[in-house]
Amino acid sequence: MKIYFFYKNNIFGIHSELSNTKLKLMKKLRFGSLLLLMICPYLINAQTTRTTHILENNWKFSKGNFENAEQVDFDDSAWETVSVPHDWAIYGPFDKEVDKQVVAISQNNEQEASEKTGRTGALPHIGDGWYRTSFQLPELAAGSRVLVVFEGAMSDPEVFVNGEKAGEWGYGYAYFNLDITDFVASGESNLLAVHLSPKPLSSRWYPGAGLFRKVRVLVLPEHHFQLWGTFVTTPFVTDSLAKINIKTKVEGQNLRLETAIKDTDGNVLATETATALFGKEFEQNIALENPKLWSPESPALYYAESKLYDESGQLQDEQTTRFGVRTISYQAGEGFKLNGEVRKFKGVCLHHDLGPLGAAVNKAALRRQIQLMKDMGANAIRSAHNMPSIEQLELCDEMGMLFLAESFDEWKRPKVKNGYNRFFDEYHEKDLVNLVRATRNHPCIVMWSSGNEVPDQHGSEGVKRAKSLQDIFHREDPTRPVTVGMDQVKAVMASGFGAIVDVPGLNYRTHLYEEAFERFPQGLLLGSETASTVSSRGIYKFPVEQAVGKMYDDGQCSSYDLEYCNWSNLPDDDAVLQDDKDWVIGEFVWTGFDYLGEPTPYDQYWPSRSSYFGICDLAGLPKDRYYWYKSRWDTDESTLHVLPHWNWEGKEGDTIPVFVYSSYSSAELFVNGKSLGVRTKSKDSKLERYRLMWNDVVYEPGELKVVAFNEKGEPAEEKIIRTAGAPHRLVLEPDRSTIQADGKDISFVTVSVVDKNGNPCPTATNQLSFEVSGAGEYRAACNGDATSLELFHKPTMKLFSGQLVVLVQSNERAGDIELSVAGKGLKRAKIKISSVE
């Protein structure tokens, strides 16, 4: 008898964390044994058609190049025990010598090479790392296949099974799978070892290191659905009827396919049976009445449950594919349409790292990112500049976020010595095929990107590569267009590169939009990367002025949002084009969140190890710019935000300009009850079109108040900022007070300090300590300071601009979790979070 477990709607093989003794015992026990139930809490199910074993817990890890580490009898007892996804580098320490690069960054318009520190985060991601784990297989039936599937392994993975090399890959962001049938032992425990060797000079940002995305083993019967072989599209959609087209690749002959379309409640809405195989593919067209359309406002989802039978009627395999019903189109004169309605991309670019968690995927952190962006009014995300995680796409499907899925930052010509150029010839088609097939059923994806600012934009060879890559996308998915983030706009005009791309994407170069629109035949343009405005949360510099690449002694940037890079521009420049040009179909701002590495303009300054581009900082705390975008993008609620803070001891009598980001068109400013006049937005000035500005405010401590007026000129909303006294107590605010007891879920607790009257202290830098007890653990902390060298996983950190965020993670038992935060001279603060099953 074979034993399998059903847990949370996923079928698992016997878990690798169970001892071999227990596994042998389980095989001897009869179905329903009380002892078996005591050993394993999962529900027992009869043998199914396929099994999926997620290799998550009890991995052994060590950094270093160990001889014979792939062997079964290798002693790894002294190695660290970790869970996957895992990023070994995020635990530090920060070191300016890590991946120090002497380079002229062409994307920054640099002509001479100079020493760059912190460009890849100054964290120890370079070197050799080994992972080892065991997994138990059932007795394999004749013709069964066993696959190991990796969703990301950073980088240059070599895979060994039971001491034999089963295969290798190149690109760390790529999805790939290996058939390991010939290497495994049927009905026994098997050893999987993975060797990773991230190289120096291989990235322009923090890449992370390790098995940073999910790993799983699939056991497939002889007749089965091919991995990533199902493609669901909706070629015909009306309010009353949708045509669901399903192409399904299988292994085997004389088979019958039955598919049921279900809603999220499990109701069967339509069914279809197919018996005609064309090669190895079934095709079904299923009518769905009164479909609910997927959109950011209403992200309706459906499930295609498919069962594969042989000629005798025996069930061979089954799978469930989630999809959405929606239409997309891109047309000159119309722009981008979703479900027949024109809309513009209000998008942000996101790197793959999750701040203090590093590159290791965590669904709670991704959900928080997406929710913050949606609350700001964003409707789209670009995965810059790499293949997205499956978890990110699942959440975008569920939460309603359009997605631009990017593939590469390099093609054949290098940006960095050991970048993707090493893999391009051998791997680019395999990587694109796996990307598309693994993710094409996600309704959130509405466009592909084959590259970002590739040096290949120059010359005829680059045009050929662009066409070749685009053709691969079209072959694998004819329903979505392809873009490229182009920064060499003059070059792509001259070579024809920009003319052959489905959707021309311009990175910056706002001064060339009009010319590009006239030269390119597509009749539309996308701001594939915009703004690159830099700021540090809560930091303000004087005098207040527009500045390019400006640096200060403290390694910070001003939050007046008037500083940017020499290749970029103010966000206001992009806003004018987005608002006034119908043929500009939207933008993706660089970036939604700060990320590790690429600390422009401080890439020659130490310490500085993360970016300043984010609308939110590395901790996920909104900067002032968040409200600038919210005032334009969020049409569901009003926005009224005032900057700067009003604690300027020593600047009494000095000029402190006040800006207001608001959805209202006019407002009046008061300082200690005295009116400083009304300001009204005006199209006559680029800045005054999107900002209300009082540039001549003389600072005096007290109260700063703004009153906004509605369209009738009536007071509609007000905002008050008061000068704070000395830090007095701590305030703890969790993003969620209830989390799941799964050992992965996280509550992000914002910690702020206020004075005795409850006023936020915006300049506080108190050193705090953290303790977590109960059904959870302290995971990390982050204050958003790009110059901080404090390690995220240590239970202490300084406030930055009066705030930081503590990450509290559940364990695998339900109960209360208590976070306690203390700081010198401050009353200890506590908060409870519930962890539930």
| Confidence bin at 201 (pLDDT 50/70/90) | very high
- Kindly report, residue by residue over 643-657, the tens digit of the pLDDT: 999 999 999 999 999
Adjacent-strand bridge partners of 562: none
Residue 484: its H or E element: strand 482-486
pLDDT of 261 above 80: yes
pLDDT of 39 above 70: no
pLDDT of 738 above 60: yes
Q: Are 820 and 770 in contact (CB under 8 A)?
A: yes
| Confidence bin at 292 (pLDDT 50/70/90) | very high
Residue-level pLDDT at 101: 86
CA dihedral for 779, 785, 790, 796, sign (positive or negative)? negative
Distance in angstroms (rounded) separating the CA atoms of residues 626 and 614: 9
| Confidence bin at 5 (pLDDT 50/70/90) | very low
What phi and psi, each to the nearest 5 degrees, are found at residue 834? -90, 135
Residue type, 681: K
Residue type, 752: S
Residue-level pLDDT at 297: 98
Domains in the chain with CATH codes: 4-48 (no CATH), 54-220 (2.60.120.260), 365-531+571-594 (3.20.20.80), 640-722 (2.60.40.10), 729-836 (2.60.40.10)
Residue-level pLDDT at 767: 98
| Structure token pair of residue 236 | 């015909």
pLDDT of 387 above 80: yes
Residue-level pLDDT at 396: 98
pLDDT of 30 above 90: no
What is the percent of the chain with per-residue pLDDT over 90, rounded to a whole number?
Answer: 92
What phi and psi, each to the nearest 5 degrees, are found at residue 503? -125, 110
pLDDT of 719 above 50: yes
Q: How much is the average pLDDT of 336-362?
A: 98
pLDDT of 373 above 70: yes
Residue-level pLDDT at 34: 30
Beta-sheet strands, E only, within 128-180: 129-136, 145-150, 158-161, 164-168, 176-179
Distance in angstroms (rounded) separating the CA atoms of residues 634 and 370: 14
Tell me the whole-structure pTM to 2 decimals. Answer: 0.93
| Confidence bin at 48 (pLDDT 50/70/90) | low
Residue 514: its H or E element: helix 513-519
Please state, rounded to an integer, the average pLDDT across all residues of the chain. 93
pLDDT of 379 above 50: yes
| CB neighbour list of residue 242: distance below 8 Å, 6 or more residues apart | 234, 236, 287, 288, 291, 325
| CB neighbour list of residue 488: distance below 8 Å, 6 or more residues apart | 453, 457, 458
Residue type, 473: F
Q: Residue 508, by phi and psi: left (phi above 0), alpha (psi -120 to 50) or beta?
A: left
- Kindly report, residue by residue over 166-191, the tens digit of the pLDDT: 999 999 999 999 999 999 999 999 99
Reference 76, options 131, 21, 154, 22; nearest CA is: 131
| Confidence bin at 791 (pLDDT 50/70/90) | very high
Q: Which positions are catalytic?
A: 453, 529
Q: How much is the average pLDDT of 671-684?
A: 97
- Kindly report, residue by residue over 215-257, the tens digit of the pLDDT: 999 999 999 999 999 999 999 999 999 999 999 999 999 999 9
Q: Using alpha carbons, list the distances in angstroms from residue 37 to 31, 34, 40, 382.
A: 10, 5, 5, 46
Q: Which residues of 404-438 are buried (b: 16+ CB within 10 A; e: fewer)?
A: bbbbbbbbebbbbebbbbbbbeebbebbbbbbbbb
Q: How much is the average pLDDT of 47-61?
A: 89
Reference 205, options 154, 131, 170; nearest CA is: 154
Reference 608, options 791, 787, 792; nearest CA is: 787
Residue 453: its H or E element: none
| Confidence bin at 7 (pLDDT 50/70/90) | very low
DSSP per residue, 171-233: -TT--EEEE-GGG--TTSEEEEEEEE-PPTT--SS----B--S-EEEEEE-SSEEEEEEEEEE
Q: Using alpha carbons, list the distances in angstroms from residue 347 to 204, 569, 783.
A: 22, 17, 25
Write the DSSP symbol of residue 699: P
Distance in angstroms (rounded) separating the CA atoms of residues 322 and 403: 16
CA angle 156, 171, 12 (to 5 degrees): 85
DSSP per residue, 634-698: --SS--EEEES-S--TT-TTSB--EEEEESSSEEEEEETTEEEEEEE--TTSHHHHH-EEETTPB
| Structure token pair of residue 776 | 């959870």
Q: What is the separation of C-alpha 701 from the centre of its chain, rounded to a whole number of angstroms?
A: 42
Rg of the chain taking only CA atoms, in angstroms: 28
What phi and psi, each to the nearest 5 degrees, are found at residue 17? -75, -15
Distance in angstroms (rounded) separating the CA atoms of residues 430 and 472: 10
pLDDT of 384 above 60: yes
- Kindly report, residue by residue over 508-566, the tens digit of the pLDDT: 999 999 999 999 999 999 999 999 999 999 999 999 999 999 999 999 999 999 999 99
Distance in angstroms (rounded) separating the CA atoms of residues 129 and 198: 9
Residue-level pLDDT at 10: 31
Q: What is the separation of C-alpha 609 from the centre of its chain, rounded to a whole number of angstroms?
A: 20
Residue-level pLDDT at 260: 98
- Kindly report, residue by residue over 81-102, the tens digit of the pLDDT: 999 999 999 999 999 999 998 8
Q: How many residues in the chain?
A: 837
Beta-sheet strands, E only, within 714-788: 715-722, 729-734, 738-740, 746-754, 767-774, 776-782
